[in-house]
Amino acid sequence: MSSSRRRTARLRAWASGLLPRPVSPEPELDPVLHAVSLAALLDEAVALQPAADDLVLACGLPGEVPGQVAQRATELTGRYHRLLAELERMPLPAEYLPLREHAERLLTYHLWMLHESLHLAFPNCPDSRVESARLRLDGLGAPAAILRDLRERAHAQIVEPVPRRGARD
């Protein structure tokens, strides 16, 4: 059997799942760099909060909700989705995993609030119960403050202990 046929046979075996795919070793990643990236991601998530809070509040105002609210909320939802995906893919040292899990839950809550606010503001089948729930919308609530506290904790735990290059004792 020629080498090209052997290679083709191997590729077919890998594609069918008979052989495990070769795994290229990933380069060693600096855990400090990823921990600082986590802090930066939390900074970005907290920076989005005022806009998210305003949009949830706008969805709960009496009267018709303007279409621009839906457009802005959809854009913001996309940004929160991107942050959540980045957070889930971020390799971190074991000591930062509880911090990441807590951040994932809080970002998921922010996404859920934006999503549900839009559903209440622009319902497929409007009725009095939906309208009553919509009028009770009052921003992101306590989880927004918890995310800000988590960011502060992350900075205290991650960013501040990192020595600056070139700093002299």
pLDDT in tens, 61-108: 999 999 999 999 999 999 999 999 999 988 888 888 899 999 999 999
CA distance 69 to 77: 12
Residue 126 in this model has a pLDDT that exceeds 80: yes
pTM, entire model: 0.75
Q: What is the pLDDT of residue 9?
A: 66
Q: DSSP state, 28? A: P
φ, ψ of residue 129 in degrees (nearest 5): -70, -40
With contact defined as beta carbons under 8 Å apart, do 55 and 144 qualify? no
- Looking at residue 72, its amino acid is R
Residue 115 in this model has a pLDDT that exceeds 80: yes
The predicted-structure confidence for 19-75, as pLDDT tens digits, reads as follows 555 554 444 567 677 788 899 999 999 999 999 999 999 999 999 999 999 999 999
